[in-house]
Structure 1
């Protein structure tokens, strides 16, 4: 909590300082350009007031566009050149103002430096974000080695030699301590992807035993469905054979991420195929009958997903159960009508 509060205070101080400096710099520059436009070139007052926005405002906008280009992984050379161009024109007009009042170099620096200071501060502020974005893409620039003041002073030749070696290694992409430029660093894998890869490298029989040790009370059909979520497609019969010790023959296992089959049994034992697919409706009804009338829709959806091996949500479970109840009620009414119609009449 204290860390967040310190960050908020730091940001507030920074933006307050930038607003104060920016307002003062814009006011001085706007007045200087107004004098040049109105007094020297005779531009009408309403138009002369907007002169500062044309040059300094355009320079700030181009500096912002440079940051946008970095965020979108584009070159920021064009916006930076445009910023320098507009700033140079503004500084030239400030010099004309200094010549107009015969103020010399002092007046020129007074009128021009606020614009330079504002652009430098804004550029340094946005450059930190650009550096972070480039670092995420692996674009890490070469830096001077941290040898300290005395290292550079007393071992200047060795320090420059080490700097040259590090820069050459960085340019030729042989620096193992850095990520190659233009190559995004690898993102951490998801847990499900890592487990899929782990199960793909395991022996299928061993994978079935591991899953059974984690959930020893569920039937083979549900265990087969659970293994299917990790890319190991086996049938309920195959799971039952493994759990009952039927491992004397090799079993054909079809994985979701490969088309290669494990070598088939060397003996003439019959091979077991996968169970036929189960519809969502039937899976929901079977799950509801297993869990009982008091089961929640969420639990039924989870059990049905294990049976049908397809996503099932709670609202769909309620819809299916409601339709099933209505169908039972209609069938019951038809039976009552049939019983009445077939009664004995004297």
Structure 2
């Protein structure tokens, strides 16, 4: 059967228990302070200290030690060092205990008297320290600090397997220190090495975008503006092709890459490209083909020179005069394709005429 947990205000038993605990703590602290103060009062009066000052001697020693202990707790809660308050507590408590031992010598009671007069001051500080332990632990847990705890092997485990228990305890201590379990105490081991590409990517992303574009362009001269923008984006710098063009002082126009068609007959020699600059003595009756696709320009020039069987060198010359340089191998390939397309068109026309006649009435 599943047990249901109720969340709500504390029950009457819990409230009563807390009240009883606080009352018991107040009673014990009052009794311990009274006994320690009486012992200090006797010592003070023995050395002719005025009565008013002798009455407050307990506050001077045990009271100051108590306040220093409380200051140490507050320092832990505020994530500050508690070394100074703790040392002050030990110093004032030591003085108080010494004076309690002096009181025991006055009475001649020996060891029992020393324990009787010194125990109240020690008990006052111990009870207060234990009571404030919960506050310190809660403050550390809130900051994410996880102190190491002893393993629960039991009394027989520690006695019968003492060496194994100590070895395991040492391994757990090393793992706790080096794993960074506490938020305020990072692992003592060296941090893991980062990938060099990640480090370079971070440094590149921190650069000025214009410097990054210039470095990318200098290291990749074969990339156009759009590709350079994509490369910068891979390294955390978002720019456009227009941004790249502005930085490099270029026009943001798309680049076109033409792949040349290999010569179907490698045995033939290739005519190298002629002068790219169109000369003034260009043929007057030639059609203006500059700006057209190269294959279409070749076909138009060939028809003007006598048909698709025209000399490739003559076609290359006419194209060069219009600033469209190409080689004879590509011209032969383009003419061959044009002849094949023309032949296929003639065959389709002949087949259509064979089936449907040349027109007229059947």
**Given the two structures, how large is their TM-score scaled by the length of structure 1?**
0.50
Q: Report which of the two structures shows the higher radius of gyration computed on alpha carbons.
A: 2
**Given the two structures, how large is their TM-score scaled by the length of structure 2?**
0.48
Q: Give the number of the structure whose residues are more often helix, by fraction.
A: 1
